[in-house]
């Protein structure tokens, strides 16, 4: 029974998409054809299979989920969404160390649906991607956790601080030691700003970067060999912003605040 239902739902995009469509309410055959962009000839055999398995029911000319169908859709929808997220950028997710993400957030990876992959510009390999600079520069609030050293970000932090952006920066101890010793003047200026909070996190398995603004969520991970390849995933969707904020807040709980100068 369980195996049969798994095959029924997942082995046909038409059946899967129809079940997800009917979660929003009853539909007639014209609604189904238009919203799924299918023909009656292709979808009617799939409808019959779902009716025979008691997942949908036909009343008059309307199709709707049965109670069993509602239960199945409720359970499989997060899995389908998670698979969609991974498939959209499969090379990124399968090639990077996911241990940096707490289990409770990894289980909610479906909330990152619609992320785009940001890859390095080979002509400016050590500079932040232009998409990142543009989004951070036009934001009123920026929170960044970083476990790798990139000095090109420092002028951007100073600029944001001078523009009175609400800025929260969190670095691992090794990154903080390097910044505070090699770039003391800029760090000192940032630390003196009332709109800036600084934190130092304990070492351990961490993302390369998590940045949250009022516009975007940016996530970078080390690859499975522990190297930083300058790749990120980015989203501007509300669910992704909330997910990213939770990830940032998680690392904030593992950090201590740096006292103002």
Looking at residue 205, what is its pLDDT?
78
Name the CA radius of gyration of the chain, rounded: 24
What proportion of the chain, given as a percentage, has pLDDT over 70?
Answer: 95
User: What distances in angstroms separate CA 11 from CA 5, 15, 44, one per listed residue?
Assistant: 10, 8, 16
* Tokens of residue 209, six digits: 């970067």
Tokens 């970000």 correspond to 153
Looking at residue 1, what is its pLDDT?
40
- Stated as kind and residue range, the H or E segment containing 232 is strand 232-235
User: For 200-209, how does the pLDDT look when each residue is reduced to its tens digit (9 = 90+)?
Assistant: 998 787 899 9
Predicted confidence band of residue 126 (pLDDT cuts 50, 70, 90): low
What are the residue ranges of CATH 3.30.870.10 in the chain?
Answer: 90-257
Residue 237, helix vs strand vs coil: coil
Cβ partners under 8 Å of residue 87, min gap 6: none
Average pLDDT, the chain: 89
User: For 104-122, how does the pLDDT look when each residue is reduced to its tens digit (9 = 90+)?
Assistant: 999 999 999 889 998 876 6
What are the residue ranges of CATH 1.10.10.10 in the chain?
Answer: 2-80
pLDDT average, residue stretch 21-42: 95
Looking at residue 75, what is its pLDDT?
87
Distance CA(2)–CA(9), nearest Å, equals 11
What proportion of the chain, given as a percentage, has pLDDT over 90?
Answer: 66
Distance CA(32)–CA(86), nearest Å, equals 27
Looking at residue 124, what is its pLDDT?
58
C-alpha count within 13 angstroms, C-beta hemisphere, residue 197: 13
pLDDT average, residue stretch 59-72: 95
Q: Is the pLDDT of residue 144 over 80?
A: yes
In the CATH scheme, what is the code of domain 90-257? Answer: 3.30.870.10
Per the DSSP assignment, residues forming a β-bridge with 197 are 168
User: Which of these, 127, 189, 125, lies nearest to 160 by C-alpha position?
Assistant: 189
| CATH class of residue range 2-80 | mainly alpha
Looking at residue 122, what is its pLDDT?
64
Looking at residue 78, what is its pLDDT?
85
* Tokens of residue 89, six digits: 């950028």
* Tokens of residue 20, six digits: 């997800």
Distance CA(107)–CA(223), nearest Å, equals 20
């Amino acid at each position: 029974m369980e195996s049969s239902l798994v095959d029924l739902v997942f082995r046909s995009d038409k059946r899967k998409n129809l079940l997800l469509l009917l979660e929003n309410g009853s539909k007639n055959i014209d609604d189904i054809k238009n919203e799924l962009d299918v023909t009656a000839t292709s979808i009617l055999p799939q409808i019959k299979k779902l009716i025979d398995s008691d997942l949908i029911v036909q009343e008059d000319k309307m199709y709707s989920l049965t109670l069993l169908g509602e239960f199945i859709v409720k359970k499989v929808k997060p899995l389908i969404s998670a698979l969609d997220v991974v498939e959209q950028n499969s090379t990124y997710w399968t090639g990077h160390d996911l241990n940096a993400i707490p289990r409770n957030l990894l289980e909610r990876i479906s909330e990152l649906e619609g992320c785009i992959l940001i890859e390095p510009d080979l002509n400016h390999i050590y500079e932040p991607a232009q998409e990142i600079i543009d989004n951070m520069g036009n934001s009123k609030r920026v929170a960044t956790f970083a476990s790798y050293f990139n000095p090109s970000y420092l002028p951007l932090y100073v600029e944001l601080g001078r523009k009175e952006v609400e800025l929260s920066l969190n670095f691992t101890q090794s990154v903080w030691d390097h910044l505070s010793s090699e770039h003391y003047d800029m760090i000192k200026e940032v630390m003196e700003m009332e709109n800036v909070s600084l934190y130092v996190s304990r070492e351990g398995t961490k993302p390369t970067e998590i940045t949250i603004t009022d516009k975007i969520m940016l996530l970078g991970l080390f690859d499975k060999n522990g190297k930083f390849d300058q790749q990120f995933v980015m989203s501007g969707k509300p669910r992704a912003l909330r997910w990213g904020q939770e990830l940032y807040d998680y690392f904030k709980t593992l950090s201590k605040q740096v006292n103002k100068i």
